[in-house]
Amino acid sequence: MTQWPLSLLPFCVFITIMTFMIQQKHLLMMLLLLEMMILNLIILSTLSFMMNSNMDLFMILIMLTFGACEAGIGLACMVKMSRMFGNDNINSSSLLW
């Protein structure tokens, strides 16, 4: 297996973090970027550990579980916010200020 995916994935995580810092207008965009960051980190850990032991597989499964829980909670918060304020704009709500 070549080494270029391992060198490309930290760059993808960095780009995701930078986009997350820039795009703070819509909650849906922020949730999608969080999911992308978690999936990039899971792929990076899977490729870097390369299944050395059963504990690595267990940790990857735990990371996937936390990613799914984060997505579910974020979606529930977005639905609640869109019902209360009528949109998913962060600036229209009084959550930050």
Question: Coil, helix or strand for 26?
Answer: strand
pLDDT for 50: 66
pLDDT beneath 50, residues of the chain: none
pLDDT for 39: 86
pLDDT tens digit sequence for 6-21: 677 778 888 888 888 8
pTM of the model: 0.74
CA Rg value for the chain:
16
